[in-house]
A and B are shown apart, each in its own frame.
Chain A
Amino acid sequence: DAKTTQPPSMDCAEGRAANLPCNHSTISGNEYVYWYRQIHSQGPQYIIHGLKNNETNEMASLIITEDRKSSTLILPHATLRDTAVYYCIVRPWMDSSYKLIFGSGTRLLVRP
């Protein structure tokens, strides 16, 4: 499985965009990029996933570079409630045996 590298911590001001980077230089062609977040020891929450095209939903946008070796999760207008640990994970497409393995993630602090 491809491994990911994320900065251990980041911060941004409330109302500004939060851009969380993730490196996955060994990603395979059949692997998707998934993002989850965990707010204060609650169960992790699915945010978004993508293969190679940029994706957007009501929570965030996901920008994947053309070579797919890195991606950025964008929270367009961060609020205090977005303070959480954000996990970037790659997983194979339609691999029924795949198990989600979490790394250490990025701890995002949104400042008032």
Chain B
Amino acid sequence: EADIYQTPRYLVIGTGKKITLECSQTMGHDKMYWYQQDPGMELHLIHYSYGVNSTEKGDLSSESTVSRIRTEHFPLTLESARPSHTSQYLCASSDRGQGGYTFGSGTRLTVV
């Protein structure tokens, strides 16, 4: 039973389009994260947030941007999609303690 939701699950979009990937969690977690993963490759952290109005870039440089206006919502935006952005994007959240991360099912993005 998922407590973190990502939409859409799959997205095929043309080059130059603006897209927003949605991520919402119902657990009240302060911390949220975006990871990017190409098929068969490692997960790379691209953005994270420790709370409302807090966002930071991760270890892998990304042309995407994020916002955190509400605790439960952490959308990722690409202003102008390119084929190089084709990948899977995974959202996660965690609480303040030592609990593990909870991941969403991911959005598989294809830019044509």
Contact = CB atoms under 8 A, between A and B. Distances in A.
Contact of A96 (B39, B42, B96, B104): B96
A99 B48 contact: yes
Interface stretch (A10-18, A44-52, A76-84): A44-52
Nearest to B105: A43
B100 A43 contact: no
In the complex, the 3 A-B pairs of residues with the closest C-beta atoms, listed nearest first: A43-B103, A46-B100, A102-B43
A44 B103 contact: yes
Given A32-B98, A41-B39, A99 B33 contact: yes
B58 A99 contact: yes
Contacts of A46: 100-102
Contact of B90 (A34, A43, A97): A43
Contacts of B101: 36, 44, 46, 100
B100 A41 contact: no
Given A43-B106, A44-B43, A104-B42, A36 B92 contact: no
Given A46-B102, A100-B45, 11 more contacts: A36-B101, A41-B37, A41-B39, A41-B88, A41-B108, A42-B106, A43-B92, A44-B43, A99-B33, A102-B42, A104-B42
Interface string B31-70: 0010101010011010010100000001100000000000
